[in-house]
Structure formats: structure tokens, C-alpha cells
Amino acid sequence: MRILLAEDDTDTAQFIETSLGELSHVVKSVGTGDAALRIARSESWDVIILDRMLPELDGLTLLKAARSCGVTTPVLMLTALGRIEDRVDGLDAGADDYLVKPFAPSELVARVQALGRRYTQSEIATKLLAGPLELDLIAREIRRDGRLVLLQPRELRLLEVLMRHAGEFVTRAMLLEDVWDFHFDPQTKLIETHMSRLRAKLNEGGLPDLIETVRGSGYRVRAV
């Protein structure tokens, strides 16, 4: 399974990565709430393991935000807070399971695998919609008003990231990391060049531009 781990304690994160990695699960670990929310929304995961106390954005707020924008991935919440009301808060926020620290690795693994079995293929979103745009995530095809638009793989990935955040601004840093896996700004016209090609193909025939650019904020594709 592909598992997103949001845990700011490096020792705990390493312990979980090792436990799940030994069973051939692929674990991506992040240490802040903001990063976890962005990645949860922009990529598909089988299970999310979420620490309740994260810097920048706490686990409960993160989870509510993710659920409100359509993220249905099963979530196992980790916390040192073991009171009944704490567990209820976590489940009310959208968690599917709750595990109190400290925990045994065998219990963590069992709970994660149980959650993964619930995530059936039918529950996986296969299309993204934004106004006249429809992106088939399986066929890797984009259509505007039903017309097929031929894009290069990088252009398609760029549009996918924008559509996963439809109606919101996506910053340059987010695009560099999610599309090119750059964790720094190369100080080039890389994004602008690809965005120009993408616009030209989407707007062929003089159609209105669907991608908005605001200096200092980033890029936004209209949701409707």
C-alpha cells in the first residue's frame, strides 16, 4: 500500500516507516500539518497515518479540511491523548480509527492493514472535474467540453495538480514540488514555459482562459 505518514517526532516516524516498510508498504513521511494536507489532496493514498499534534496545522483541523475537499482516504489518528472525549473528537473530525501512544508495532500494522482493506477500488476517484474540464485519471486524458486535448505528461501532471485544488491558488513552490519534485526554486522560467504550452492547448480556437495567474499568489483553475 501507499501510506502517507504525518508525524513530527522523527523517532516515531522512523519506527513506523521501518515497521511498515518491512511488509513492503511504501511510506512517505512529512513533519508538518500544512505539508500533509497539501500532499493528501494532491496525491492518492491507501491509508493516512496522522499525528494529532502537528506543527503549523494540527491533526484535527487538517483532517476536517481534507474531508471537506473530498479526501476519502482512510485515516488512522495517532495521539498521546487517550481520554474518551479525545477519541470522539478525532472520530468526529473524520478519522476512521484511533490509536493511543505508546503502541505496539504489531497493533499499528494490524490497524493500518485493516483500514487498507476497506479502501476498495470503487471508492477511488477516477475523474477530476473543473468547469468544462474533465480529467480521466486512469486513461490519463483531458477533455474540454468533451473535446480531447492532447497534452505532454508533464503538462497533464501540471493540470492535475491545479484541478485537485480547483478554485484555490496553487503557489510556485507547490507546483515545483508536486510536478517536478523540486524542493527549491531553480530560478528559471520552467513553470511559465509549461503553463504557456498548457494554456495554448486548452484554449485552442480562441476559447476563454481557464487558468488565472495572480502575482504573489500563484495559479488557479476555475472550479465551475
CATH numbers and ranges of domains, the chain: 2-121 (3.40.50.2300), 127-221 (1.10.10.10)
CA-nearest of 105, 104, 6, 112 to 50 is 6
* Alpha carbons 152 and 161: distance in angstroms, whole number: 14
pLDDT in tens, 75-118: 999 988 877 788 788 888 889 988 888 888 888 988 898 888 77
- The answer to whether the beta carbons of residues 6 and 65 sit under 8 Å apart is no
pLDDT in tens, 107-119: 898 889 888 877 6
pLDDT in tens, 145-189: 999 999 999 999 999 989 988 888 888 888 988 888 787 788 889
- Structure-block grid coordinates of residue 51: 499525528
Between vectors from CA 39 to CA 151 and to CA 96, what angle results, nearest 5°?
125
Between vectors from CA 152 to CA 150 and to CA 156, what angle results, nearest 5°?
85
* Alpha carbons 33 and 209: distance in angstroms, whole number: 33
* Alpha carbons 112 and 107: distance in angstroms, whole number: 9
Between vectors from CA 196 to CA 39 and to CA 186, what angle results, nearest 5°?
55
pLDDT in tens, 6-22: 999 999 999 999 989 88
- Structure-block grid coordinates of residue 199: 494554456
- Cβ contacts of residue 175 below 8 Å, gap of 6+? 158, 161, 191, 218, 219
